[in-house]
Chains A and B, each alone.
Chain A
Amino acid sequence: MTLPLFFFYVFSAIAVASALMVISARNPIHAVLFLILVFFNAAGLFMLAGAEFLALMLIVVYVGAVMVLFLFVVMMLDVDFASLRQGFLQYAPIGVIVGAVLLLELLMLAGSFVVSPEVTASAVLPMDGVDNMRAIGQVLYTRYVFLFLGAAAVLLVAMIGAIVLTLQHKSNVKRQDPVKQVGRRPSETLEIVKVKSGQGL
């Protein structure tokens, strides 16, 4: 057993085990943390396949940004996951049936799936001395430029959507206006009253 093969099995075994934990963990925070573990192992698998750029992007983008955001949301929303699970047993039979059908389908697919010999032969990474990032850059802005711009439009829509649906311009809310605050004069706001003792105002 070679060393890369050993690591392949280590990474994939931990990935599958922690993926199982994601859906079975009681505490949602634990589930999110296990998901992060899945991403780390997937990144390890990418690294073994020679796709070091993808591996690092996975960690930077998913673990660094998406999952941390997710963690914040889970912690802040205080969703009662126990009550969400109450209907679990009720729907379990339907779930089992759907799962069985899907499993049957997968088995049928696995039976008919053959890896063509050409693919096995070309499994060697065709890098030609070009590093990963350069290889992606070469196709991203030329061959796939249409899809790249399309994806950009999707992100623009996501941004506009988030603003339209959440930004509030309330007119009856009191806001701080620093210019007004600094420009205040004592004569406009202060009134000095002499109070005689024992009389009150």
Chain B
Amino acid sequence: MNSDVIDFASLAPAYPEMLLAIGAVVLLMIGVVVNKERSVLVSYGAVLLLIVTAALVILQPKDGVLFNGVFIADGFARYMKALVLGGSALSLLLALPRAEENGTHKYEYAVLVVLATLGMMMMVSANDLMSLYVGLELQSLSLYVLAAIKREDSKATEAGLKYFVLGALSSGMLLYGSSLVYGFTGHTNLSEILVAIAQEGRSIGLIFGVVFLLAGVAFKISAVPFHMWTPDVYEGAPTPVTAFFATAPKVAAMALMVRLVTDTFKGISHDWQQIVIFLSIASMVLAAFAAIGQKSIKRLIAYSSIGHVGFALVGLSSGTQGGVEGVAIYMAIYVTMTVALFACILSLRTSAGYVETIEDLAGAAQHRPFVAAIMAIVMFSLIGMPPLAGFFAKWHVFLAAIHAHLYVLAVIGVLASAISAFYYLRVIKVMYFDAPVREFEAVPAELNIIMAVTGFVVVTYYFTVAGPLAGLAQSAAGSLF
């Protein structure tokens, strides 16, 4: 009954998590004690905390398996943690302007985001079915509260309740799958499950367990057919909260899925590949068609994010190192594009409130040329137009699929991408060619900076970040194989 934690220095791989946990409690105390301007103070404190933690993750790399095998820190976990922390910090910044109107002016908002991020880091570093579940619950529970944080708004409350009920169902499926995997392999530790599968081979009970486990995780990344909650929750939750939902939690759940299938269930790759290929095709195709009829811009983004999860899964279905590398690059670019997109949407505000429908965007190019230009660039990037970042993201995952001889999957992916161009282009058309209906208000400075930086990265991706990012993704994927 001994612990492997002998002294403080032996905890080094888990320093980022510890810092974040202690930081969250300190921020909570600051929020309780300070009376004036506390939400702004706590928000900036949380952004600082997330940046310091990200610096600790990147600059003080320490690999190792800790806490008797339930926690793992490796290159892959570091890469994904840096992405999660970056996504959370950026979406906290997005929530700063006009916080009162969005319901994010409560200081608990930032604390909950930090705690959700802690849960995501636990998910990314999980090396045991138990730590996987605890991390997932910590993340999900925080997200349920965040969805309903604007509690006087009936739509936000409905979104929170819907998310909670369906999330509880998916947790149930995940737990059922975990219990079957445990029952048929005799272990909860992912490394020991890997060994057990290699020794005993596949059994029908194990396959059942894997199916349920993957169904639970697919819910969290909102892959079809577990996507039903996404449009409603994205539409109902306040826009900055939606921005958070669409970035960091997706990365964490995707990282969890990658680790489970490529590492733990390596021995039954033929079985999980079928599941992942199905999820991928269904997500890409359904999102491409369902988004066409959408009027609300947030529902459009929800379907777009379902589609992008499908594209990322194309890389994963190859099951190769190149595929995982593609997924890693895809998630990084996806987070950048999503943050840019939400910064644009939060910038476009008329006297009647935030833009809700696509028609509301009419004439944005004349009143707010900079915002419209960035939004158009992001839309082109989401389609996958060549010099922009989105093209390279898709290029990497489709290349991995071709290398793994998954030609049909790649062809369907490219077709779905072409269909999805329609609804992205429609947004650009409305912004640039429709007559303006309303006046747009001035853009807050924070959003201008975020739009400028993310827009710059998206445009100049190939010349600036492509090289270093590919190197990082390669070493991240290499630690799993």
> Does B205 sit at the interface, judged by CB under 8 A?
yes
Q: Do B3 and A153 touch across chains, with their CB atoms under 8 A apart?
A: no
Other-chain residue from B135, B160, B183, B203 in contact with A150 (beta carbon distance below 8 A): B135
B3 and A145 within 8 A (CB):
yes
The chain A residues found within 8 Å of chain B, CB to CB, are 105, 108-109, 112-113, 116, 138-139, 142-147, 149-151, 153-154, 156-158, 160-161, 163-165
Kindly list chain B residues whose C-beta atoms are within 8 Å of the C-beta of A163. Answer: 108
Q: Are A160 and B134 in contact (CB under 8 A)?
A: no
A147 to B103, CA, bound (A): 32
Which residues from chain A contact B25 at a C-beta distance below 8 Å? 156
Complex Cα distance A116/B186, Å? 10
Q: Is B419 an interface residue (CB 8 A)?
A: no
A130 CA / B203 CA spacing, docked (Å)? 37
Asked if A150 and B141 make an inter-chain contact with CB atoms under 8 angstroms apart, the answer reads: no
List, in ascending order, chain B residues with CB within 8 A of A142's CB: 1-3, 5
Task: Select B203's contact among A112, A138, A157, beta carbons within 8 Å.
Answer: A112
State the majority secondary structure of interface residues on B: helix
- Decide: A157 near B141, CB < 8 A? Known: A113-B183, A142-B2, A146-B70: yes
- Interface residue ranges of B108-151 to A (CB < 8 Å): 108, 111-112, 115, 118-119, 122, 130-131, 134-135, 137-138, 141-142, 144-145, 148-149, 151
Q: What 1/0 flags go to B257-296 for Cβ under 8 Å of A?
A: 0000000000000000000000000000000000000000
Known contacts being A146-B67, A154-B134, is A164 close to B1, with CB within 8 Å? no
Bound complex: CA A150 to CA B148 (Å): 23
CA distance A161 to B180 in the complex (A): 32
The residue in A105, A142, A144, A157 that gathers the most chain B C-beta atoms within 10 A of its C-beta is: A157
Q: In the complex, are the beta carbons of B21 and A164 less than 8 A apart?
A: no
Q: How far is the CB of B237 from chain A (nearest CB, A)?
A: 14
Task: Report the separation of the CA atoms of residues A163 and B135 in the bound assembly, to the nearest whole angstrom.
Answer: 22
A126 to B21, CA, bound (A): 36
Given contacts A145-B3, A160-B115, A161-B144, 13 further A-B contacts (CB under 8 A): A113-B183, A143-B3, A144-B70, A145-B5, A147-B70, A147-B131, A150-B122, A151-B134, A153-B115, A154-B134, A157-B145, A164-B106, A165-B160
Which residue of B has the minimal Cβ distance to A112? B204
Q: Which of A113, A157, A158 is close to B205, meaning CB atoms less than 8 Å apart?
A: A113
Whether B68 sits at the interface, judged by CB under 8 Å, is yes
Q: Is the CB of A150 within 8 A of B138?
A: yes
A87–B134 alpha-carbon span in the complex (Å): 35
22 A-B pairs in the complex with CB atoms less than 8 angstroms apart: A108-B208, A109-B180, A139-B1, A142-B2, A142-B5, A143-B67, A146-B67, A147-B67, A150-B134, A151-B134, A154-B137, A157-B141, A157-B145, A160-B112, A160-B115, A160-B145, A161-B112, A161-B142, A161-B145, A164-B108, A165-B145, A165-B160
- Measured in the bound complex, the distance between the Cα atoms of B309 and A9 in whole Å is 50
Known: A109-B180, A165-B148. A150 touches B204 (CB 8 A): no
Chain B residues with CB below 8 A from A105, complex form: 208
- B119: which A residues are within 8 A, CB to CB? 153
Nearest 10 CB-CB pairs, A to B?
A161-B145, A142-B3, A146-B67, A150-B134, A138-B1, A164-B108, A157-B141, A112-B204, A154-B138, A143-B68
Shortest beta-carbon distance from A198 to chain B in Å = 56
Nearest-CB distance from A136 to chain B (Å)?
A: 10
Which B residues lie at the A interface, using CB under 8 A? 1-3, 5, 14, 21, 24-25, 28, 66-68, 70-71, 106, 108, 111-112, 115, 118-119, 122, 130-131, 134-135, 137-138, 141-142, 144-145, 148-149, 151, 160, 180, 183-184, 186, 203-205, 208
Docked pose: A161 CA to B274 CA in angstroms: 39
Complex CA–CA separation, A156 to B116 (angstroms): 11
A84 CB to nearest B CB, Å? 14
- Expressed in whole angstroms, the minimum distance between the Cβ of A134 and any Cβ of chain B is 10
**A109 touching B205, Cβ below 8 Å:** yes
Closest to B21 in A: A153
Give Cα A190–Cα B319 distance, bound, in whole angstroms: 86
With both beta carbons as reference points, the residue of chain B lying nearest to A108 in the complex is identified as: B204
Is the Cβ of B131 less than 8 Å from the Cβ of A150? Answer: yes
On whether the beta carbons of A149 and B130 are closer than 8 Å, the reply is: no
CB distance from A139 to the nearest CB of B (A): 5
CA A160 to CA B148, docked complex, whole Å: 13
Nearest-neighbor residue (CB-CB) of A130 within chain B = B1
CA distance A143 to B21 in the complex (A): 19
For the complex formed, measure the closest distance between the CB of B336 and the CB atoms of chain A, giving whole angstroms. 28
Residues on the A chain within 8 Å of B142, using CB: 157, 161
User: Which residues of chain B are near A143, meaning CB under 8 Å?
Assistant: 1-3, 67-68
Cα(A164)–Cα(B118), bound, Å = 19
Kindly list chain A residues whose C-beta atoms are within 8 Å of the C-beta of B68: 143-144
Contacts of B138 in A (CB 8 A): 150, 153-154, 157
- Give A145 to B134 CA distance when docked, in angstroms: 12
